Amino acid sequence: MPKRREGLHKGVSSIFSGVSLPKGKFFALKAGVSATKQKVMAILMPILFIVLIVVLIQVFGTGPHRTRAATKKAPGQTIVAADAEIDWQIPAPYPTTLRDPMQISSLMAAQAETPKIEELIVKGILYSKDSPAAFIGTQIVHEGDKISDATVVKIDRDAVFLEMNGKRWTLKVQQ
d(CA 156, CA 129): 9
CB 171 within 8 Å of CB 122: yes
d(CA 115, CA 49): 77
pLDDT, residue 137, reads 83
Q: How many CB atoms lie within 10 A of CB 9?
A: 11
CA distances from 58 to 52, 53, 61, 142, 144 (A): 10, 9, 6, 72, 77
Mean pLDDT of the chain: 76
DSSP annotation of 86: P
Q: Which residue has the higher pLDDT, 23 or 173?
A: 173
User: Rounded to the nearest 5°, which phi and psi values hold at 37?
Assistant: -60, -40
pLDDT, residue 70, reads 53
**What mean pLDDT is predicted for residues 29-41?**
82
Which segment of 5-9, 18-22, 159-163 scores lowest on mean pLDDT?
A: 5-9
Residue 2 clears pLDDT 70, i.e. is over it: no
pLDDT, residue 89, reads 86
CB 20 within 8 Å of CB 28: no
pLDDT, residue 109, reads 56
Q: Which of 11-20, 79-88, 113-122, 159-168 has the highest mean pLDDT?
A: 159-168
Under the banding of pLDDT at 50, 70 and 90, the label for residue 134 is very high
Under the banding of pLDDT at 50, 70 and 90, the label for residue 161 is very high
Is the dihedral angle over the CA atoms 47, 52, 53, 54 positive or is it negative? positive
For residue 54, the one-letter residue type is: V
